[in-house]
Amino acid sequence: MLSDLDIAVTRGMNGWTGQSPLIDHLMVWTSEIGVPFLVAAVALQWWQGNNKPHTRHSLLATGFSFLFGLALNQIILLFVQRTRPYEAGVTHLLIERSADFSFPSDHATTTVAIAAAFLIHGMPRRGTLFLAAAVLMVFSRVYVGTHYASDVLGGALTGIIAASLVRPVYRQGTRIDRFMTNIL
């Protein structure tokens, strides 16, 4: 059952819709193409010609964190089947309806997993830049009405967990790391 605080925070964030067409468009844009944009930004770093082993390892670990976060979400969705806030009359929806359940937010999971992976792997500038983008993404998902505030917080936590679990499993300099960084 949703808490009154969760509903109040969600309504407060979504309640700003309609006050500025420019902000509405920015939030819709962020919500709809933010994840592909961030994935492309990570992929472009791979092909920019930086062949430092640590950078290549960190980029792969970021990709693994992204994918592992999504896998964790699918498991969570089997047990937590929360309807979307617009279906419960809590929010005004600015984008198309989603076919899946609300908790946890895949957008929050993936963007925070990217940022957390960079930070965990000792790349603070990249991590901070991606964290700023993740915060904007997380906010946009509630703003456009497709998630409760707790959905994006849960997704962010899942992203952090995913990146944290990838770190000890996928270590730099191991046979699998050398194989992966050399074939890609």
Along the 184 residues of the chain, how does pLDDT read in single tens digits? 568 899 899 999 999 898 899 999 999 999 999 999 999 988 888 777 667 777 777 888 899 999 999 999 999 999 998 999 999 888 988 888 888 888 999 999 999 999 999 999 888 998 999 999 999 999 999 999 999 999 999 999 999 999 999 988 877 767 776 776 777 6
On whether residue 10 sits in a domain, the answer given is no
Sign of the alpha-carbon dihedral angle for 120, 47, 125, 178 = positive
On whether residue 16 sits in a domain, the answer given is no
On whether residue 129 sits in a domain, the answer given is yes
pLDDT given for residue 2 in this prediction: 62
On whether residue 8 sits in a domain, the answer given is no
For residue 129, give its domain range: 21-183
Q: Are 120 and 66 in contact (CB under 8 A)?
A: no
On whether residue 12 sits in a domain, the answer given is no
Q: Which two tokens stand for residue 184?
A: 């890609």
Domain count within the chain: 1
pTM of the model: 0.88
On whether residue 141 sits in a domain, the answer given is yes
